[in-house]
Structure 1
Amino acid sequence: MAINLQQTSARLNFYMRIKELDVYQLSVLTQTPPETVGCILQGEEYSMDDLVALLKKLPDLNSRWVIYGEGNVFKTEGQAGEHALPPGLKKDRAAYLAEMQSLLHQLEEIEKQKQQQSNLDQLRSKIRDLTKHI
């Protein structure tokens, strides 16, 4: 599965908005150079080692969600999918978080559909080109 740097960036930015962190605060918290954090947050080329090192310093953040979009923003605790609220997240913000996560998932689905449409258009173009030679 390919990793989309822009989506990874969007997810990490989403986490930062929830936690009310800026680039400098995230840099200090994760002991990551601000330039590296900036590259990750802008979806620019960066080393996956840098991303993994940053994610390891955020124990409440679900790294599979950041990288692949799988699961929830925060790591879960308990059984049957009970979600522990991260420290500092008020209960009224939990509903907001769930709604935002749903919207982010919908945006990812739309992006996938756009990519599939683009692939379909390319295939149609190739078929047209091939049928011209028949």
Structure 2
Amino acid sequence: MAINLQQISARLKFYMRIKELDVYQLSVLTQTEPALVGCIVQGEEYSMDDLLALLKQLPDLNSRWVIYGEGNVFKSSEQNQNPEGHLKKDRAAYLAEMQNLLQELDDIEKQRQQQSNLDQLRGRIRELTKHI
């Protein structure tokens, strides 16, 4: 399975929206440098060790979902609630956020496919120009 930094970024942003966290709050919560959290959230280059260390500090977050898109956002439905047992937002708001995330992930996948097509065309052009 290929790991896509943009998809990881989109999933982590979705988690942050649900938990109502900004980059600084997430860095404090995970005891991670804000600059590193910013890199991860923006989908910039970082090591998988850094990502895993951050995810380890978020016990309610399903790391397989963040990295591969497999399973649910949260490890169990109980952990999807605040201490009082109520969701921070209503179900419709969560569904709208999920729809936005799915659209964003779909857009990222389309961009990746377009980039692959561009790379193939560039390679073909290089091959053809060799014969000129």
Smaller-chain TM-score bracket: 0.7 to 0.9
Q: Which structure 2 segments of 5+ residues have no match?
A: none
* Of 42, 55, 80, the match for 1:86: 80
Match of 2:105 in 1: 108
Number of residues paired by the alignment?
Answer: 126
Match of 1:55 in 2: 55
Report the TM-score when normalising by structure 1.
Answer: 0.73
Secondary structure of 2:12's counterpart equals helix
Q: Which whole-Å CA distance do the structure 2 matches of 1:110 and 1:17 have between them?
A: 19
Match of 2:14 in 1: 14
Q: Which amino acid aligns with 1:98?
A: L
**CA deviations over 1:91-116 (Å, ceiling 9, x no partner):** 75334223422442344345435544
* Alignment pair present for 1:36 and 2:6: no
Q: Which whole-Å CA distance do the structure 1 matches of 2:112 and 2:45 have between them?
A: 21
Q: Which whole-Å CA distance do the structure 2 matches of 1:94 and 1:29 have between them?
A: 25
**CA deviations over 1:71-99 (Å, ceiling 9, x no partner):** 221112xxxxxx33523252753342234
Q: Which amino acid aligns with 1:94?
A: R
Report the TM-score when normalising by structure 2.
Answer: 0.74
Q: Higher relative contact order at CA 8 Å, sep ≥6: structure 1 or structure 2?
A: 2
Q: Which whole-Å CA distance do the structure 1 matches of 2:94 and 2:20 have between them?
A: 13
Q: Which structure 1 segments of 5+ residues have no match?
A: 77-82
% identical aligned pairs: 61
> Contact 1:73–1:101 at 8 Å: present in 2 too?
no
Q: CA RMSD in A?
A: 2.8
Deviation at 1:16, TM superposition (A): 0.8
Match of 2:93 in 1: 96
